[in-house]
Amino acid sequence: MFFKGLNLLNRQQFEAAEVEFLTFLEQLKKSPSVKNQARFWYYGAFTADIEAMTMNNLGVIKMAQEQPGSASAYLQRALQIDQRYAKPHYNLAVMAGVAGDEDLARQHFQKALDLGYGGDTFDQFLQKIVVEYAKTYREK
């Protein structure tokens, strides 16, 4: 469900992706061992916590749907789950910049940089690997 949601997100099918991610979160609640099994796929790539990644992805969906309040709530939840996860800070920086809050944008962007994410070529490469893997989870 997670990778299917990611594939849908990358294809900008936001509503369907949201359903997959929310269903995945429900599965995590029912079966926490899924979280440990998923660590293999992401260990070392931004975060090892798939729940935090799911929250970040839901935040990205809400950003795309121009729902900043919901987006911020999901991104903050991702940071509560994994304080060292840089991508939610990067996304919060983008949101703050769009909203015209340059100070907050700088703070979040600096935090993302401090945690190792700056959107540079290597970060883009890692994201590309994830996107390509997610493509294997097409809708049936």
For 18, list phi and psi in degrees, rounded to 5: -60, -45
Is the pTM above the cut of 0.85? no
| End-to-end Cα separation, the chain, in angstroms | 12
pLDDT, one tens digit per residue, over 70-129 is 999 999 999 999 999 999 999 999 999 999 999 999 999 999 999 988 766 555 555 654
Q: Kindly report, residue by residue over 22-58, the tens digit of the pLDDT.
A: 999 999 999 877 776 655 555 446 788 889 999 999 9
Domains located in the chain, CATH noted: 2-134 (1.25.40.10)
- Cα 135 to Cα 31, 67, 93, 128, 138: the distances in Å are 25, 26, 28, 11, 6
Question: From the centroid of its chain, how far is CA 14?
Answer: 13
